Amino acid sequence: MTKLNREPTSEPVGKSVTRMDMYDKVTGTATFTDDLHAARGPGLYYARLVRSPHAHALVKRIDVGKALAMPGVKAVVTGQDAPEIVGMYLVDRPVLAGERVRYVGDPVAGVIATSEEIAEDAVRLVEVEYEELPAVFGPEEALAPGAPLLHPNLGEYKVANFIFPQPGTNISEHFKLRKGDVESAWPQCAAIVEGTFRLPPIQHVPLEPHISVALWEPSGQVTLWTSTQSPHAQRDLIAQSLNIPHGNLRVVSPYVGGGFGGKAGVTMEACAVVLARAVKGHPVKLRLTREEEFVGTTMRQSLVAHTKIGCDAEGNLLAMETEYHFGGGAYNDYGVNIARAAGYSCTGPYKIPNVKGDSLAVYTNLPIGGPMRGFGMPEIHWGIEQIMDQLADKIGMDPAEFRRRNCVKTDDVILTGMKMPPIDLVACIDKAAEAIGLGKDEAPSAPHKRRGKGIAIMWKAPAMPPNPGSSAIVRFNEDATVIVEIGAQELGQGSFTVAAQIAAHALGVPYEWVRVSAPIDTKYSPYEWQTVASRLTWSMGNAVKIAAEDARQQILEIVAKYWGEDPKDLDIKGGKVFSYRSEEEQPLEKMVVYGLPNENYEGWQGGPIVGRGSFMPTYVTSLDFETGQGTRAVVHYTVGAQAVDLEVDTETGQVEIIKIASVYDVGKAINPDLVLVQIEGGAVHGMSATFEALRFDEQGRPLNRSLVDYRIATAVDVPGEIHGDFVETALEDGPWGARGVGEHVMVPTAPAIANAIHDALGIRFDDLPLSAEKIFMVLQGKK
């Protein structure tokens, strides 16, 4: 059982929170804030985690006596006290490791104390006896015959019905794609290119680290204040794992200081809740250090891709065979869906008649692999887009023309048997190529530098279950200002701005009248699956539009009855209802709350206007386990092109990006400025991924878990020019045709840079990172 320190205390216990409306005059945002005395007052306790120093071991004994005897320590919780497991698609991750640890950093216990410093000191006093086991650190190693089995109970885990783990192996997911006859197509190919491409794990590096405050009240009510992309999904997963009624668990999340996928699902938040369970009535704060952020949350999975593609003499793609091995880390609860997404999108944005694809998520003894901006697409496009350049070169075709010929187009039947929704990828290619003058030779800035240009294209679908929903509420204040309530999260990407714009346009009121409620609070905010998958503009946007249109229709019907007119003859613009027939006008002010009087004030009609909207795709179908074929694999794809103009310094290996041109088909740009900002940020993020890598020693210990040693892009690295543009091909079920573009710019950046480096130097790089040192060594003829 949980070990408690019965040391007397005069500290008050945590109290229930209260909620009040506030309006920020600077940001124009209506905010629901909590009285966080319970979460930061004198009753607050602090927690630190005891982490495994071994990559793979059995936990033989834990002695918490010395830690518990330390003044200020209130409780110590071990994996035996908290045996629950949690997970998004595959429930495979212990909240605290009990019998076995599977990576360096796996938490085995938590210490709760009156200060973070005391908790940190007490962590060092917890004695853990381990029995080390053989470990595997790469997917190829984990797939080899005789590899140690990391999850012997894999067959007993709960799993989503579209994920297929292979019990008795280290394979947590195997997605198969079969189309046409690959073997009969190879002899018809005039050019064939195959290669093995490798990408290391990388970190999200949010400016704000993970932090949670949990309060488990004696009544059984649980509140979790946390920085998350997934308030409702987090509530659902933790409630299921810890057997808490959903109505008793409340998740409150303010603006998020950077997510990039790393704050999706559940990472360390469940730890905070089980620790709070040990000291009921006291909020417990668990904050990860920057060093813990690198190994104690999730990272982008590693990938080894074996890919072979062929085309005929005219440049028509004929066949593709690929096998993706994702290094999923110790637990694959979210990573399994990344492998699945890579499988049903394994061709990239190309129409290929004969395809054999296998995409595997594989357990390894490294930190947990999880979602990151792009969700598997940057990884698979790294190899695909380099091969496309090589095929074009083999048959003597311009690389942009090769892509125009073979890229997917509207109504094409793609690899899964699905008909492609409306897109215009050719227009994206044309604009990107023109922006950098692709195909035109330009002189470098110095004799020791080489200049090169490259292009890459991409696609990405929202990777999610078939039925993720969004909901919204639109209501009015007396002065006709509007409150929009959503469950979608603001990460800095502008989701609140878009929600306000959509509501304003659908209602017919000025944008300045609209407020979006924050923070997101599962007790009050309408349901939203998660803020992931670049789905909000489309899914949340539809819900907000429906809610606003519902409110608008109520207003029109009330005023039409008041005037004795047909609602079809009325409209709302500038915050006033007017009639095209009678030219009557009625301001929304007051009537949207108080209604309108009958003649001679003999009663009233109307009342407070509240619009309700919900949206969920209903048309996504299952895919055959053996072939990956089905009617509708995904809701839609966003497509785009990226072109790069750069110079390489042959004396240092340093790459300077002169210009990046990024063009994406966004369906409809609800906010063109936000689209261009996403393009800029995504281009820099994608460029940063070319020199990022989490490194580990031969025992699985992290070597560069700080911002001193882990290289990310800074202002110094930003390209001289980022040219952003977009194409608008309306999506059938998007709000006014809109689709998302948040992640997509990250996807083709690295291969576009690699293709430009090859154009400059004539050298191909199959693995990341592309460091200056690596380029220099290759130029010197060294491995």
CA 153 from chain centre, in angstroms, equals: 28
Angle of the 749-761 helix axis to the 377-395 helix axis, nearest 10? 30
Token pair belonging to 59: 């936990």
CB atoms within 10 A of CB 770: 18
Dihedral angle sign, alpha carbons of residues 560, 564, 565, 570? negative
Query: Is there a contact between 571 and 508 (Cβ–Cβ < 8 Å)?
Result: yes
Say how far apart CA 230 and CA 371 lie, in whole Å: 12
| CA–CA distance, 75 with 3 (Å, rounded to integer) | 6
Separation between Cα atoms, residue 401 and residue 407, nearest integer Å = 10
Instruction: Give burial (CB, 10 Å; 0-12/13-18/19+) of 175.
Output: buried
Of 278, 274, 282, 276, the C-alpha closest to 243 is: 274
Cα 87 from Cα 237, distance rounded (Å): 7
Q: Between the CA of residue 354 and those of 180, 278, 380, 419, 657, what are the distances in Å?
A: 4, 57, 18, 16, 37
C-alpha–C-alpha distance, residues 597 and 751, integer Å? 66
Number of other residues whose CB lies within 10 A of the CB of residue 702: 22
Q: Which of 12, 11, 31 is nearest to 21 (CA)?
A: 31
**Using the 8-state DSSP alphabet, how is residue 104 labeled?**
T
Angle at 716 between CA 711 and CA 717, to 5 degrees: 60
- Nearest CA to 154 out of 87, 218, 108, 227 is that of 87
- What are the backbone dihedrals phi and psi of residue 476, each rounded to the nearest 5 degrees, phi first? -120, 150
* SS3 of residue 471 by DSSP: strand
| Cα 142–chain centre separation | 26
Contact 11, 42 (CB under 8 A): yes
In the numeric block, which tokens belong to residue 200?
Answer: 């290391």
One DSSP character per residue, 250-312 reads EEEE---S--TTTTSS-SSHHHHHHHHHTTTTS-EEEE--HHHHHHSS-EEPEEEEEEEEEE-
Tell which residue, 419, 487, 469, has the closest CA to residue 617. 469
**H/E element holding 479?**
none
Q: Exposed/middle/buried for 391, CB within 10 Å: 0-12, 13-18, 19+? A: buried
**Residue 181 CB neighbours (<10 A):** 12
What is the DSSP-derived secondary structure letter of residue 359? E
At 767, list the tokens. 């693995």
The SS3 of residue 127 is strand
Residues in the chain: 783
Q: Is 116 among the residues known to form the active site?
A: no
From the candidates 217, 385, 528, 743, give the one annotated as an active-site residue. Answer: 743
Per-position DSSP letters for 290-301, written without gaps between them? HHHHHHSS-EEP
DSSP string across 559-596 = HHHHHT--GGGEEEETTEEEETTT--EEESTTHHHH-E
CA distance 221 to 768: 47
Catalytically annotated residues: 743
